[in-house]
Structure 1
């Protein structure tokens, strides 16, 4: 084989080897590759691809669905039910107040709401009685159109006396004396000691009866007047005539 032929073959082999090395370097990332339209196609396809479009459509669809569900559920379930519950509670509370007020207004509730009996809505009379001895009965009759409460005891002033007689505490009634229209309440008056042991006696021809509240009354006494001494004593107002004259 000639030297020229040998050189030719070596040159060809070297060229092939260099080409192989170049291709190998490109495959390992060390060379520069022309990605050309393939990379650009991938890059431009990403924003307009089916994945992006599908995500936008899904988001648009799911958000209104969640918003609509929340609004509808909140209005129909929460607000309406809550409003009904509040209205029901308010009605129940109002009913309780009304019921409690009605009970409190009655005598059974222990509350006294009637007007006070006094000289403006009653008529008062003073009558001497045969028994007990030296006693007088005060009678107060409701002349109004509504019930009135006769509380306490009569504040009686006989004649020109500067002081009013005491009351027998043991005669305090168990309940308030309430007079319906036309009904009467009573109080007993011991004018003087039956055995004559009282002192500072005098004859009174006028009487003023005071009440817990309101105007006084001036019942007429017998023309001859009544004799009183320092044993003068009164009872509390009573519902019963017998209770007023028992003491």
Structure 2
């Protein structure tokens, strides 16, 4: 099946970009990471798998990300959670499998708790719940900038510095889910790199242990990094998604 695309209008006038493959359910829904977009290698690998196997698949960009409208600096966990729920409500029917990468693992968990009756399973790649509190190290000069301006330009190994707002940090605390219990009963598969510099494997394991679900498989890829986008990593991701869809 070919992939279609469009924009989902939000009540405040912003628009979320999406792409969809029609096919058999459950619908696989991709939830990307912080400052990532739906054109990344993992999202693309799943699109190709969906087309080849006749599976329903939806990917989208959050507010302020990728092809969607909005100012990234104004984004919050509340807003991105609402984006995910809007996609579920308006672009999917029936059961869904949520596939969340990094921050997307947090958003997927929050969405699963909001609509548990629709969740077939979750597949999480280097999940980063509570990252605004537990994983984001802010140096003294960052705290000074946040206090003075409400925003800190955080250096990045992946490109230009990017804005971290005080509102993002304050809002993130509202949605903390660790150490649990995390009220998700559906099957969960977690893929985690042992050499991930952004999400320590112990953090992802804490999520696995906090889940109420008894059907949880935690896979440590010892030499894996944060992105887990090597060919063998993409094969593991597709295999995990195919397993929970079966």
TM-score (norm 1): 0.21
TM score, norm. by length of structure 2: 0.21
Larger radius of gyration: 1
User: Could you say which structure has the higher strand fraction?
Assistant: 2
The structure with the greater share of residues assigned to helix is: 1
